[in-house]
A and B are shown apart, each in its own frame.
Chain A
């Protein structure tokens, strides 16, 4: 009887749900870029801790803005890249995440320069 049943086949990437739908190469790309974005978040935390350690309770509003921005920017950009590239093929994901990493770099440098401008010239 079981001879007539179709052979069980493994679902294709598009039939799977969640991260399993991304395929092996897509997952590798997501994880590799997550490490880079994660490093930026960790550096943001390191900046936050060193500022709190050095200045204690004297961290002003604009400085908090920079410190939290340095943590939030990579995390938010990574989330947006993940959403944007969810249905793209692996090469599209790589392009989006690479573009996102350059955006994180530009935004971080802009954030620092804006704060420096406010502190020293504003």
Chain B
């Protein structure tokens, strides 16, 4: 067996046909480069229309909303959780303190002034939980430090001195 016969066994007739050459990725690129480049459209700078401005504003609002939502749903750190727990306990104690004071010093509503004194007592009992709720509600989306700051302020302002002093 001659080497030529071996080569014949490993090839098919017509392998050298140029029309059967597989198309490679470089072929179209080559064709593209061969063709003259189409003229690129000249970009004319234009003023933003009302629609563009409205879309930009809408995008900005959506981003702000998403940022706020992320802040709202962000997980609290352990330190913050402990701080909230301690402050909630302090507010609970203050509420109990005011309640005990009011129950010890009940006022009979005999005149208009005594009715208003009763209202003042009721408001004093409601002060601690209302401050807690207001601080949590109105500082939504703010930094945790701001929220804790408002809660600390309330804890100091609303100390039930009448109860502390044994009244």
Contacts and interface: CB of A to CB of B under 8 A. Distances in A.
Query: Are A and B interaction partners?
Result: yes
Interface of A: 39, 43, 88, 92, 95-96, 98-99, 101-110, 112-114, 116-117, 121
B99 to A, nearest CB: 12
Contact of B160 (A88, A106, A116, A121): A106
12 contacts: A88-B138, A95-B133, A95-B138, A99-B127, A99-B131, A102-B126, A104-B123, A105-B123, A106-B158, A109-B124, A113-B165, A113-B167
Given A95-B134, A110-B159, A112-B162, 19 more contacts: A95-B133, A95-B137, A96-B138, A98-B134, A99-B130, A99-B131, A101-B123, A102-B124, A103-B131, A103-B158, A105-B122, A107-B157, A108-B120, A109-B124, A113-B161, A113-B162, A113-B167, A117-B167, A121-B165
Contacts of A105: 119-124, 127
A106 B134 contact: no
Interface of B: 98, 101, 116, 119-124, 126-127, 130-131, 133-134, 137-138, 157-162, 165, 167
Contacts of A39: 116
Contacts, number: 65
A102 B167 contact: no
Contacts of A116: 167
Contacts of A98: 130, 134
Contacts of B119: 105
Contact of B161 (A99, A110, A121): A110
A103 B126 CA distance: 9
Contact of A106 (B98, B116, B137, B165): B98
Contacts of B120: 105, 108-109
A103 B134 contact: no
Contacts of B124: 102, 105-106, 109
Contact of A109 (B121, B137, B157): B121
A96 B160 CA distance: 20
